[in-house]
A and B are shown apart, each in its own frame.
Chain A
Amino acid sequence: AQSVTQPDIHITVSEGASLELRCNYSYGATPYLFWYVQSPGQGLQLLLKYFSGDTLVQGIKGFEAEFKRSQSSFNLRKPSVHWSDAAEYFCAVGLDISNFGNEKLTFGTGTRLTIIP
């Protein structure tokens, strides 16, 4: 079965500093990969996704992520964080290209991001 690991439970970053959130997955083939953000009391919003092609994907709010097959990783990055980026971030994998869009996602345990002035 597929699994997703987010090794960092909580990360604190100064406003304006760069950010990298780690995500590793375990699966025999290349899955679809996603990053979602959850603000307090809110649902999950899709930041970006990777299906195939260019391994560096751009998302909303200035985020990007790089798929590295050799490391089974899909780390999320942002060059300069803003106070409004404080939230919970979830990495997720989905499987089976033929069923994409109708397949269950497996989520990591999340990384809570705190921004300090």
Chain B
Amino acid sequence: DTAVSQTPKYLVTQMGNDKSIKCEQNLGHDTMYWYKQDSKKFLKIMFSYNNKELIINETVPNRFSPKSPDKAHLNLHINSLELGDSAVYFCASSQEGSDGYTFGSGTRLTVV
């Protein structure tokens, strides 16, 4: 079983569209994250949820809206997509006292 799974793996869409990326973890972790990896491989945190509560919200355009229906799921909805949103988005989870993050395999978003 995949510990942290993201769907879709690839997403190609036109500017102005709205899209969602889903993430699920079966590790029983309390905290989930969204990271963005740009074309230069730089990883930057976007959001963090702990038990469905938003605890980290970095400087991210409000076109990005995370939603956590339960602690095993953290979805990312993006409105009015722009070319600059093209990146790989990684979901991750962690548990206090655990061994750091467990990452999903990423969603490569391409906006054309």
| A residues in contact (CB < 8 Å) with B | 32, 34, 36, 38, 41-46, 49, 88, 90, 94, 99-102, 104-107, 109-110, 112
| B residues in contact (CB < 8 Å) with A | 4, 30-31, 33, 40-45, 48, 50, 55-56, 90, 92, 94-106
Point out the residues of chain A lying under 8 angstroms from B44, CB to CB.
107
Q: Which of B30, B97, B101 makes the CB contact (< 8 A) with A105?
A: B101
Distance (Å) between the CB of A100 and the closest chain B CB? 6
Q: Which of B41, B90, B92, B99 makes the CB contact (< 8 A) with A49?
A: B99
Are B104 and A110 closer than 8 Å at their CB atoms? no
Q: Known interface pairs A101-B31, A101-B97, A101-B98. Does A109 touch B41 (Cβ–Cβ under 8 Å)?
A: yes
**A1 to B102 CA separation, bound complex (whole angstroms):** 24
Are B40 and A99 closer than 8 Å at their CB atoms? no
